Amino acid sequence: MQKRNFGLTGFDVPAIGYGAGTVGDSRLEEKQAERILNQVLDLGIGFIDTAKGYGLSEQRIGQYISHRRDEFKLSTKVGYGVEGHQDWTYDCIITGVEQALTTMKTDFLDVVHLHSCPTSVLQDGQVIDALDQAKQQGKIKAIAYSGENKDLQYAVSSNRFDSIMASLNFCDQRIIHNQLPEAKQQGLGMIAKRPIANAPWRFDSQPNDDYAEEYWLRRRKMALEFGMSELELALRFTVFTYGVDTAIVGSVNIAHLQKNIEIIKAGPLSQEIVQYIYARFRECDDHWIGQI
């Protein structure tokens, strides 16, 4: 697995990380969750991203792979859902970090994101101050923001974060030419979420109540064909976009993760293909903002 420096944080990450939201589904049997998480590490996918809001994800990470903590970097998200504390407050962040440490049975968290809070919360400053305190205490290595569009722009311009996470794929490109160049100039780490656009090619007709719905419409309009599978096109486009340090893919099918690893061994797409994908996005763009 190719490793990359994660901004100026001092640690590296694999080109493909694991999005652990799917493993938090309560319908997933415990034995299966245990097997998947351990197989992820066996494949060399040494970056795992989760969040307080991802069901049983944090609990299962702590239960099934905390004994292998030295094999992976751990990323989570905070800001809400802490009993006894108002969302998006200093105390909510401090307690949320403590709960994450306890739940995932670890002494520190490599990356902790504010989970898509609005600009007004960032401007208030107390949630960032709380992350700063946790970092000074050695509980966090990198403080981060996960979000999109104007909120992401404010976070990048604030000069208070070590890394960012945002949607980036062939039909969600706005960040590539807007916030990402500034983020990399500052030395921020970059985690690309939804790198395969939630696989909209799974659906023959427009899906409803699915995260792929908007991407299904964009993909149809862009109509990209390059003699390779759409999965390969999407994954190689995102993973090798300048500034992306790791792209997180979630699945409970290990064969899918193995295939992803094989795909990126082919390296980046040709510049001719990349420039065409950029051009098609510009031509089809109908206020296509980043998807939260």
Q: Indicate which CATH number applies to the domain containing 51.
A: 3.20.20.100
Closest C-alpha among 244, 241, 249 to residue 274: 241
Report the DSSP pairing between strands 3-5 and 12-14: antiparallel
pLDDT (0 to 100) of residue 211 = 84
- Residue 49: which domain range? 3-284
- Does residue 290 fall inside a structural domain? no
pLDDT single digits (tens) 117-137: 999 999 999 999 999 999 999
Q: Please state, in angstroms and as integers, the Cα–Cα distance from residue 91 to each residue in 51, 85, 151, 202, following that order.
A: 18, 7, 22, 42
pLDDT single digits (tens) 149-194: 999 999 999 999 999 999 999 999 999 999 999 999 999 999 999 9
- Does residue 75 fall inside a structural domain? yes
- Does residue 292 fall inside a structural domain? no
Model confidence at 209: pLDDT above 90: no
- Does residue 136 fall inside a structural domain? yes
**Contact yes or no for 288/171 (Cβ under 8 A):** yes
- Does residue 289 fall inside a structural domain? no
- Does residue 291 fall inside a structural domain? no
pLDDT single digits (tens) 232-259: 999 999 999 999 999 999 999 999 999 9
**pTM value?**
0.96
**Contact yes or no for 252/19 (Cβ under 8 A):** no
Model confidence at 104: pLDDT above 80: yes
- Does residue 30 fall inside a structural domain? yes
Count: domains in the chain:
1
